[in-house]
Each structure stands twice: as structure tokens, then as C-alpha cells.
């Protein structure tokens, strides 16, 4: 195991490039299962979750070739339609192979992902939607087993907005017979990215980026080359780090339009944000104000940025209210932030943060991906040395985080735990 050692107190300064988005890359890689022609993806981030997805695709019989950030997947000779527990347990997004396997091969067996530290995260809506498309689905021995002679288009309204649920149903519907209407669809940019790629492969989808997509099934999809969008959560995390350390940072190769809610909150906190076509610069020098946060599906404030803003609020001027509405257990970073001296009170999924002048470095334990990011950010601003243990969580979703931070002047190193 590895950990990060961080000496806080350095204002971050400089420019970094955003990586490709984890949450776009994972469904995109899974969608290669929908065609017997090779799919090439560029701007694929080098992350543990991406490696897990590629391992899973290889397990299914895909030929995977990787050259830096370019990945080619040839799913012409699939040898298995089973996603085993050992791989699924390390990454919930493995459930994304369910829709494409069922659509192209008429069968799939995928281990149930199970709960994780941020919440129970059931997949009932994925199953409900696939059943509505005509699949026969049973859950036995911890596996979702699905069969369908053919999928037939229909109207589906999910009970709540679900990102991977929308993606799974979209991937099933593109090869179904007839038209599917997906209502209450997730509007996250990563969902739109998948839909745009599917269109490039020959799918017929209307309403991309809206809460209702209409999909006219086609018989076959073809291979193509597709560029993964930038990681808005990675970008947001670096912007928060800049403000919390009272620095000035420009992040390039990103899409500012996907970060509107985050940019508004940074401005509300008192940071000066300048935006170009594909870059964002934040000037966080000076005092920052406490900002209230309420997570919501896109275009609302992302739950994946809640922990980082909680960290920011710990040293802000004034008190703030943070409400987590998406996941029932996404305050795991709070006890760790308290170890740094933060003043936070939790009541269910609501937290009140009262800003303190300065955090003081401490040994910390990461519990999930974005909690890890929040701890790193807080440690960068804290007085003295902190260690962040269990950074395998961080490696799931941040490409070369410590190298990027070091290039901005941070005192951070990775050591054996
Ligand atoms: C790989 C990926 O893209 N992960 C993202 C995706 O996760 P993921 O797609 O798993 O999250 P969902 O959007 O599905 O979850 C939203 C809410 O719906 C609930 N739910 C979801 C599906 C279902 O069948 N039943 C059900 O009850 C969940 O427990 C949660 O409370 O969206 C989340 C919400 O933006 C982000 O935090 C994750 O980073
Ligand atoms: C919760 C997240 O990811 P996942 O859905 O892959 O667990 C995340 O990216 O913050």
C-alpha cells in the first residue's frame, strides 16, 4: 500500500492539463461490446478503474491494445458473457457491460456490485428498464442473469435520475427493435458523450443532453474512433485546491460549460474565475467566504464535488450548510477533516461547517475517491505535515495527481505505507 505525505501551506501556482474523464471513459469502453468492428478511443485517462474495465473486457474475450492514452478494443470474438465478482467488486461501473452484452448477444451474467462506502447504490432501475425492453432477468447467487431473444423498444421512466442506469439502458436500446423513449434520463455530460459516440457508431438517438432521449434501434453498429471528454470533476478538484491554498491556477484542455455550477460556487466563495474556450483560471488569493452546497443531478451541483467544497468551507469566513441529496453516506471525509481541526456538525445528510482560521496537519485515512481528494486538498492548505493513507481510492479516479500538484508547487510525495 502507498500513502501521500503532504507538507501544507504552499499556494498553488501555474498551469496543468485536464485528463480524460473517468466517468465518460468507463461507459465508452463498455460500448465497444456493441460492435464486431474495432473501436479506438483517445484521451483515455490512465487510471485504476480504466485498467479494471479493460481487464473485464479482456475477460469477456475482447482484444485490447493500449498505446498511452489511446485504446483499441476489438470485440469481434467474445468468449464469455459473464462479469465475475472478483472484477466487479473493485469497480461498480462494471455493471455497464450488462446492457451491451444483452443487446448484442442476448445474454449476460454480471455480479451484483453490492454496496460501497458512499451508499447502498442498488441497480434496480437498470434491471427494471432492461425488463421493460423484454429481458428475462433473475438474481441468483449474487449475479444478475439476463436473457432476451430480442429486445423491443418501449417507454421507460426511471424512478430517479441515474447516470449509469441511463447509460446501460441507452446501450441496450440502440440495438433493440423499434423505438425506446428514456424519460427522466440523466443529463450528465458523460451520458451525452456516450450517446454522441453511439451516434458515430451508427445509432439513432434524439434528445442527447436532455432529460428525454428517443432511440430508434438499428440492426448493427460499426467501429469508429472517439475522443473522451475532459474530466470536469478532476478540473473542479484542482480549482478548489487553488482557492483553498490561496493560489492561482489555470487548467487547460477542459470544457468550462460542464462546470457552470462549480464555477458559480467558486465565485460565490470570492475567487476570481476567468474562462476561455477550453481553459479555466482561478485566482484564489485573499480570504474566501463560506458557500452553501446542495448536490443535485446535472446541471445541479455534482455530488462528486461535495467533499472538496466541504474541505474548502472548513477554512472559509463564516458558516455554511452542505446538503448531500444523492448518496446516503457521503460524509465519510468529515471525521478526517475534523482530525485536521475542522469544525463540522453532521445531522443525517446535512452538515454545518464553521470556518476556522487554519487547519493543522495530521495523519489521515482515505475512505472513497472524492473523500481522498478532499483530504489531499485540505492537507495542502493545512499547517505542517499530513499523511493520506489508502490512496488506492484516489488512484481510481485521478491521473498522476501528485505529479500535477507538484508541478504547481505543492510539497507532496508518494511513499510506501
Ligand atoms: C461511473 C460513474 O459514472 N459514476 C458516477 C455515477 O454513479 P452511478 O451511476 O452509480 O450513480 P446513480 O446516478 O445511478 O445514482 C443516483 C442515485 O440513484 C440511486 N439508484 C441508482 C440506480 C438504481 O438502479 N437505483 C437507485 O436507487 C443511487 O443509489 C443514488 O442514490 O453517478 C453518480 C451521481 O452523479 C456519481 O457520483 C458517480 O461518480
Ligand atoms: C463515486 C464515484 O465513482 P464510482 O461511481 O465509479 O464509484 C466518483 O467518481 O466519485
Query: How many Å lie between the centroid of ligand 1 and the Cα of residue 120?
Result: 10
31 a catalytic residue: no
DSSP designation for 228: P
Q: Is 294 annotated to bind ligand?
A: no
Q: What's residue 401's pLDDT? A: 97
Tell me how long the chain is. Answer: 417
Q: Considering only CA atoms, which residue is closest to atom 33 of ligand 1?
A: 163
What ranges do the domains of the chain cover? 2-19+230-416, 22-227
Q: Which of 248, 262, 167 is nearest to 208 (CA)?
A: 167
**Is the CB of 123 within 6 Å of ligand 1?**
yes
Beta strands in 22-118 (DSSP E): 39-42, 63-67, 70-74, 82-83, 107-111
Q: Is 122 annotated to bind ligand?
A: yes
Q: What's residue 310's pLDDT? A: 98
Query: How many Å lie between the centroid of ligand 2 and the Cα of residue 369?
Result: 7
DSSP designation for 69: T
Element (H, E) at 343: strand 343-347
Threshold 0.90, pTM exceeds: yes
Q: Is 304 annotated to bind ligand?
A: yes
**Three cell numbers written together for 355:** 470556518
- Which atom of ligand 1 is nearest to 233's Cα? 39
Q: What is the ipTM of this complex?
A: 0.99
- Burial profile 184-204: b = 16 or more Cβ within 10 angstroms, e = fewer: bbbbbbbbbbbbbbbbebbbe
Instruction: Please provide residue 262's backbone torsions phi and psi, each rounded to the nearest 5 degrees.
Output: -70, -45
**Is the CB of 397 within 6 Å of ligand 2?**
yes
| Nearest ligand for residue 393 CA | 2
Calculate the alpha carbon distances from 298 to 62, 213, 262 in Å.
33, 15, 11
Write the class of the CATH domain 22-227.
Answer: alpha beta
Structural domain 2-19+230-416, CATH architecture:
Alpha-beta prism (3.65)
Q: What's residue 116's pLDDT? A: 80
- Which atom of ligand 1 is nearest to 22's Cα? 1
The domains spanning 2-19+230-416 and 22-227 adopt the same CATH topology: yes
- Which atom of ligand 2 is nearest to 304's Cα? 10
| Nearest ligand for residue 165 CA | 1
- Which atom of ligand 2 is nearest to 369's Cα? 10
Does residue 273 sit in helix, strand or coil? Answer: strand
Query: How many Å lie between the centroid of ligand 2 and the Cα of residue 324?
Result: 15
Q: What is the pLDDT along the chain (417 residues), one digit of tens a residue?
A: 899 999 999 999 999 999 999 999 999 999 999 999 999 999 999 999 999 999 999 999 999 999 999 999 999 999 999 999 999 999 999 999 999 999 999 999 999 987 788 999 999 999 999 999 999 999 999 999 999 999 999 999 999 999 999 999 999 999 999 999 999 999 999 999 999 999 999 999 999 999 999 999 999 999 999 999 999 999 999 999 999 999 999 999 999 999 999 999 999 999 999 999 999 999 999 899 999 999 999 999 999 999 999 999 999 999 999 999 999 999 999 999 999 999 999 999 999 999 999 999 999 999 999 999 999 999 999 999 999 999 999 999 999 999 999 999 999 999 998
Q: Is there a contact between 324 and 349 (Cβ–Cβ < 8 Å)?
A: yes
Q: Is 44 annotated to bind ligand?
A: no
What contacts 316, CB < 8 A, 6 or more positions away?
269, 288, 289, 290, 291, 353, 355
Distance of CA 199 to the CA centre of its chain: 22
| Nearest ligand for residue 300 CA | 1
Q: Which of 30, 50, 162 to mutate to test the pocket of ligand 1 (most atoms within 8 A of CB)?
A: 162
Give the span between the Cα atoms of 87 and 69, in whole angstroms: 22
Give the number of other CB atoms < 10 A from CB of residue 118. 23
Query: How many Å lie between the centroid of ligand 1 and the Cα of residue 304?
Result: 11
Query: How many Å lie between the centroid of ligand 1 and the Cα of residue 112?
Result: 14
Q: What's residue 117's pLDDT? A: 87
**Three cell numbers written together for 253:** 484542455
**Is the CB of 128 within 6 Å of ligand 1?**
no
Q: Is 125 annotated to bind ligand?
A: yes
Amino acid at each position: 500500500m502507498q500513502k501521500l505525505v503532504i507538507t501544507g501551506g504552499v499556494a498553488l501556482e501555474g498551469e496543468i492539463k485536464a485528463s480524460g474523464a473517468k466517468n465518460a471513459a468507463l461507459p465508452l469502453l463498455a460500448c465497444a461490446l456493441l460492435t464486431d468492428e474495432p473501436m479506438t478511443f483517445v484521451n483515455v485517462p490512465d487510471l485504476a478503474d480504466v485498467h479494471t474495465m479493460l481487464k473485464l473486457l479482456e475477460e469477456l474475450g475482447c482484444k485490447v491494445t493500449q498505446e498511452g492514452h489511446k485504446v483499441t478494443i476489438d470485440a469481434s470474438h467474445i468468449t464469455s458473457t459473464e462479469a465475475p465478482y472478483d472484477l466487479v467488486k473493485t469497480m461498480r461501473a462494471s455493471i455497464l457491460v450488462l446492457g451491451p452484452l444483452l443487446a448484442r448477444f442476448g445474454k449476460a451474467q454480471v455480479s451484483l456490485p453490492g454496496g460501497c462506502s458512499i451508499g447502498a447504490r442498488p441497480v434496480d432501475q437498470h434491471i427494471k428498464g432492461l425488463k421493460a425492453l423484454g429481458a428475462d432477468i433473475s438474481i441468483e447467487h449474487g449475479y444478475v442473469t439476463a436473457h432476451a431473444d430480442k429486445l423491443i423498444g418501449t417507454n421507460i421512466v426511471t424512478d430517479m435520475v441515474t447516470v449509469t442506469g441511463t447509460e446501460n439502458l441507452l446501450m441496450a436500446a440502440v440495438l433493440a427493435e423499434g423505438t425506446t423513449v428514456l424519460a427522466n434520463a440523466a443529463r450528465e455530460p458523460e451520458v451525452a458523450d456516450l450517446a454522441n459516440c453511439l451516434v458515430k457508431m451508427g445509432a439513432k438517438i434524439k434528445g442527447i443532453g436532455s432529460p428525454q432521449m428517443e432511440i430508434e434501434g438499428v440492426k448493427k453498429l460499426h467501429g469508429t474512433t472517439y475522443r473522451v471528454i475532459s474530466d470536469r470533476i478532476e478540473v473542479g478538484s484542482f480549482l478548489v485546491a487553488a482557492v483553498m491554498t490561496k493560489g492561482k491556477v489555470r487548467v487547460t484542455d477542459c470544457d468550462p460549460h460542464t462546470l457552470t455550477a462549480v464555477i458559480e460556487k467558486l465565485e460565490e466563495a470570492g475567487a476570481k474565475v476567468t474562462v476561455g474556450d477550453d481553459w479555466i483560471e482561478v485566482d484564489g488569493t485573499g480570504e474566501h467566504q463560506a458557500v452553501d452546497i446542495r448536490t443535485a443531478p446535472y446541471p445541479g451541483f455534482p455530488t462528486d464535488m461535495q467533499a472538496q467544497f466541504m474541505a474548502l468551507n472548513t477554512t472559509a469566513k463564516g458558516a455554511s450548510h452542505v446538503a448531500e441529496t444523492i448518496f446516503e453516506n457521503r460524509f465519510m471525509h468529515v471525521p478526517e477533516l475534523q482530525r485536521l481541526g475542522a469544525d463540522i456538525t453532521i445531522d443525517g445528510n446535512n452538515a454545518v461547517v464553521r470556518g476556522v482560521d487554519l487547519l493543522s496537519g495530521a495523519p489521515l485515512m482515505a475512505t472513497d475517491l472524492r473523500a481522498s481528494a478532499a483530504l489531499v486538498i485540505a492537507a495542502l492548505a493545512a499547517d505542517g505535515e499530513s499523511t493520506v493513507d489508502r490512496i488506492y481510492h484516489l488512484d481510481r479516479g485521478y491521473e498522476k495527481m501528485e505529479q500535477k500538484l507538484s508541478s504547481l508547487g505543492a510539497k507532496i510525495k508518494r511513499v510506501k505505507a
